[in-house]
Structure 1
Amino acid sequence: MKTTNEIIIIDLEATCWENDRIPAGQKTDIIEIGICELNRTTQAISKKQSIYVIPERSKINKFCTNLTGITPQLIEEKGIYFEEACEKIRDEYHSNQLTWAGFGNFDKEQIVEQCDYLGIENPFSENYINVMYQFKNYIGFHKMMGLKRALNYMNMDFEGNHHSGADDAYNAAKILREILG
């Protein structure tokens, strides 16, 4: 594996239901992959984008739209299938060669689960950084803390809209940049 200074940070938005009550016959599907790249040398955060994904095992409901801002119409207009999204990430970010990160383990676990379920090769490397875990170690705190509270703790403003995958990925990248300093 080539060594590089880039780390890919992702944040997923997925189909969701009130009180986590998944309807019979549906599974949690990724509907947005927010992604950006952190250059460890220059400290620059770049290549921020949202990749909207067509859910193949569930439907986007009103609760999910209210939380994420993602509507069935948006997916119809801009969405691509998960397999295409994985290819796009591999092509644009050379993701299989780089360390990747997310705030918590949900993003990693959901990527792995959906790849396995659909028989798709994971577009990311084996090297994953859990930014939440790194943050807790960095500040010596043992409780879970969400992304917005972690930014507040570090005297950083949240930029963009919470539960926008691209904005959440960007804000997680800011925390990681500070930790790796």
Structure 2
Amino acid sequence: MNTNEILIIDLEATCWENDRIPIGQNVDIIEIGICRLNLKSKTISQKQSIYVIPERSEINDFCTKLTGITPELIEEKGIYFEEACEKIIEEYNPGTLTWAGFGNFDKEQIFEQCDWLGIENPFDGNYLNIMEEFRGHFRLHKMIGLRRALDHLNMNFEGNHHSGSDDAYNAAKILRKILE
């Protein structure tokens, strides 16, 4: 197990106004934002967005307004989820690393989509919930979101909120700070 690095992910998924999922559709991952945090050098590297073709739903106007992801972008740059998992394995070797996200949604969605497709999860069981780590570190009574956590640390959000790679990068900044 490599304890010098942590992979941070952030997913964007198909979504609907008021969380009302239309009949016949399911939440699908449409972007996997990922980066690597080196615990020794404190550097964040290999930040990227992997766009994913939704297989059980469509990207609507609400989802595009929230994430900036359009059907055209997915058509141009998207790959199937199974291919995205293979790409992550090739480029990040995640089986040897702890992986992390801000909250449990990302972990649960990865597990759900892998189960649905009957494929192996590219990540192992060592998951670190950065939101929970942050809450515990600062002895907060309740969870707070990514932006508020950055505000609490007097750090600026870099990039666009609800961009998977930007959210992953900002979550990595929070994790780096609380591990100091």
Tell me the TM-score normalised to structure 1 length.
Answer: 0.98
Q: Distance in 2 between matches of 1:11 and 1:142?
A: 24
Cα RMSD (Å): 0.6
Letter in 2 for 1:19: N
Letter in 1 for 2:28: D
Alignment of 1:109-124 (within 5 A): 109-124=108-123
Alignment of 1:60-139 (within 5 A): 60-139=59-138
SS in 1 for 2:18: helix
Letter in 2 for 1:41: K
- Alignment of 1:51 with 2:50, yes or no, is yes
Q: Distance in 2 between matches of 1:142 and 1:81?
A: 40
Moved over 6 A (4+): none
Q: List alignment gaps of at least 5 residues for structure 2.
A: none
Letter in 1 for 2:23: A
SS in 1 for 2:2: coil
Structure 2 residue aligned with 1:152: 151
Structure 2 residue aligned with 1:12: 11
Q: Distance in 2 between matches of 1:94 and 1:108?
A: 17
CA deviation string 1:48-77 (max 9, x = no partner): 000000000000000000000000000000
Q: List alignment gaps of at least 5 residues for structure 1.
A: none
Structure 2 residue aligned with 1:170: 169
CA deviation string 1:92-139 (max 9, x = no partner): 000111000000000000000000011111000110000000000011
- Aligned residues: percent identity? 74
Paired residues, number? 180
